[in-house]
Chain A
């Protein structure tokens, strides 16, 4: 999907804020019990899709389409070993491709079915490849723009009222390290701001952090940084996130859920720092810090 298309879809979703499910032509492959989200840190790069928890329900395609590729996982010396386990790729209109992984393919797919309707089953949610729990992974790839697209932009809205978490906000310089809030004055100079920012999955009862959709940083009322997870595209050998400034995963993440926000020049006086995080369901959390900067 071109950036313009992604923006249009975002505007469309905002207009449909009442979220009438019938206006969405795409459907969830299984119930929307989300375990990992688009753009979060995975391994050593951005995660390009979403993971849905499901014990053993039928996996449905998000839309009608043509099966263009599938892989059935087995212990064999020969086929490529995929972390996606058993997976299937379906092409829809306008070169939009949906990829479903880490589940068990249906017999009809294995026997050569080529066209799949919205009511057809792709297989059963399960545990193949690098799956940590039973479920299915979903990726959406725009063949025209050659980029992975945030699947939440296409899928019907899902129920989630939990706001993201912002914690352990830190200022780092060459030789100092300060956790906010602090009542002590902070020496002037250049500081890197990092924070643990995550959303909690309601799909499972245990603590299961996931990434967030959008993060903004305001310094003295001025927007310094905004990151939005709409598309992932390769540029100069690295996968970069758009429509933000094309950050790579190393630029965005210090580790799994600690994000690098921005470097700021602190000058003597009073400083206000605000971090705003929004999850993929639209829940927002903001956290403000006020501190003194010394000479």
Chain B
């Protein structure tokens, strides 16, 4: 499992063996298959495996990032996205000529949200499968896109005055809206979101903590959490997602079930580097210079 802890990128095994670590240059894109540690002005993107061995050179201008173990590169101006294989080959590329605000990927599809309030669902060839443009309200932008692993459900948060949370489901030809709610939030930045299937629930960041919507709810369900949300991840064992929040010097990992109930929490008081990552039915926590591994068990 790869981790990014403070300015260190590395890999550990479940048995607690550190495979490799190195210092982050500017930032790093980390996946299970390998990582790219890049400088602020990257000229060469070098892909290395979890043992730090050179794999390939990614010949794309921009900044790499990972979504669901798929490797993408965002151009320097933030307007163009390229998907690259872990062998370094360009799979597809798309220039939107405006800022990409948020990206997520399922197994085959990728969802791209833009600054003008539109979002695009792209096939694994980069071809357009579906698109929508927000027309409600005065200001338009997309703040969150999330797609389920099997590409069936998509969650979106977009717009200002009102801000709206939307859940879409795959149809034969594209996607259709299952539910759409006006939200009380007023975000002006990219926010956290996670779509889980089964059963098809969209968890997303909310000023109170997180909120969830599905096709059957009459109102989004709020889940109150302590501190600022860093990440929603999962699912882990027995229909639970995890939320990592922090307040000054305190990081809290909460388990939230699909009904919006908090089922566990663990808190860590730490001043300094901290990271959290879900790993199947367990999770990994990095504190200062240590990596801790937790298993989640029902009951």
| Interface, chain A (partner B; CB < 8 A) | 42-45, 47-49, 66-72, 75-84, 89, 91, 97, 99, 112, 114, 129-132, 139, 141, 143, 146-148, 232-234, 237-239
- Chain B 88-110, CB within 8 Å of chain A: the 1/0 string? 00000011111111110000000
- Give the contacting residue for A75; candidates B7, B77, B98; CB below 8 A: B7
| B186 interfacial contact with A, CB 8 Å | yes
Fill in one digit per residue for B8-26: 1 if any A CB lies within 8 Å of its CB, else 0: 0000000000000000101
**Interchain residue pairs A-B with the least CB separation, the first 4:** A83-B76, A234-B97, A81-B63, A77-B4
Q: How far is the CA of A112 from the CA of B207 in the complex (A)?
A: 12
Contacts of B178 in A (CB 8 A): none
Nearest CB in chain B to that of A74: its residue: B27
Contact A81 B27 (CB under 8 A): yes
User: Which listed residue, A75, A148, A239, touches B6 by the CB 8 Å rule?
Assistant: A75
Q: Within the complex, which residue of A43, A67, A112 is in contact with B75, where a contact is CB–CB below 8 Å?
A: A43
10 contacts between A and B (CB under 8 A): A43-B62, A70-B188, A78-B192, A80-B190, A81-B29, A81-B74, A84-B78, A147-B97, A233-B97, A234-B96
A129 and B7 in contact, given A114-B186, A237-B95 (Cβ under 8 angstroms): no
A143 CA to B138 CA in the complex, in Å? 12
CA distance A70 to B104 in the complex (A): 19
Knowing that A69-B188, A232-B97, A234-B97 are A-B contacts, what are 11 other residue pairs whose CB atoms are under 8 Å apart, sorted by A's residue number?
Answer: A42-B76, A45-B77, A45-B95, A71-B189, A77-B277, A81-B27, A83-B76, A89-B115, A130-B76, A141-B99, A148-B97
Q: In this assembly, does B141 line the interface, its C-beta being within 8 Å of a C-beta of chain A? A: yes
Which of chain A's residues has its CB closest to B100's CB?
A80
B4 lies within 8 A of A99 (CB): no
0/1 interface trace, chain B 109-144, chain A, CB 8 Å (1 if under):
000000110000000000000000000001101010
B80: chain A residues at CB < 8 Å are 45
A33 to B30, CA, bound (A): 38
Whether B160 is near chain A, meaning CB under 8 Å from some CB there, is yes
- Cα A218 to Cα B77 with chains together (Å): 34
B243 near A: Cβ within 8 Å? no
Residue of B41, B77, B188, B277 most packed against chain A (CB within 10 A): B77
What chain A residues lie within 8 Å of B66 (beta carbons)?
77
Given known A114-B186, A238-B95, contact A83–B75 (CB-CB < 8 A): yes
Q: How far is the CB of A148 from chain B (nearest CB, A)?
A: 7
B155-203 residues at the A interface, CB under 8 angstroms: 160, 186, 188-190, 192
Task: Determine whether B275 belongs to the interface, using a CB cutoff of 8 Å to chain A.
Answer: yes
State in angstroms the CA–CA spacing of A234 and B190 once bound together: 24
Partner of B188, one of A68, A139, A234: A68
Contact indicator A69/B189 (Cβ below 8 Å)? yes
Whether A239 contacts B7 by the Cβ 8 Å rule is no
- If A42-B76, A43-B61, A81-B65 touch, whether A132 touches B97 (CB-CB below 8 Å) is no
What residues on A are CB-neighbors of B7 within 8 Å? 75
B64 at the A interface (CB under 8 A): yes
Given A66-B139, A69-B189, A131-B40, residue A82 in contact with residue B98 (CB < 8 A): no
Bound state CA distance, A72 and B63, in angstroms? 16
Contacts of A148 in B (CB 8 A): 97
Give the one of B7, B61, B63, B189 with max A CB within 10 A. B189
Q: Are A76 and B4 in contact (CB under 8 A)?
A: yes
Query: Smallest distance from the beta carbon of B118 to chain A beta carbons, Å?
Result: 10
A99–B115 Cα distance when bound, in Å, is: 11
Judging by beta carbons under 8 Å apart, are A130 and B97 in contact? no
Q: Which residues of A contact B30 (CB under 8 A)?
A: 77
Residues on the B chain within 8 Å of A47, using CB? 77
Contact with A along B66-94 (1 / 0, CB 8 A): 10000000111111100000000000001
Known: A77-B30, A146-B116. A234 touches B24 (CB 8 A): no
Residues of A within 8 Å of B102, CB to CB, are: 80
Q: Quick check: B189 and A68 within 8 Å, CB to CB? A: no
Residue B28 interfacial (CB < 8 Å): yes
Do the beta carbons of A80 and B74 come within 8 Å of each other?
A: yes
Known: A71-B189, A75-B6, A83-B78. A239 touches B41 (CB 8 A): no
Q: Does B231 contact A (CB under 8 A)?
A: yes
Q: Are B116 and A143 in touch, CB under 8 angstroms?
A: yes
Known contacts A67-B188, A77-B275, A83-B62; A97/B24 CB under 8 A: no
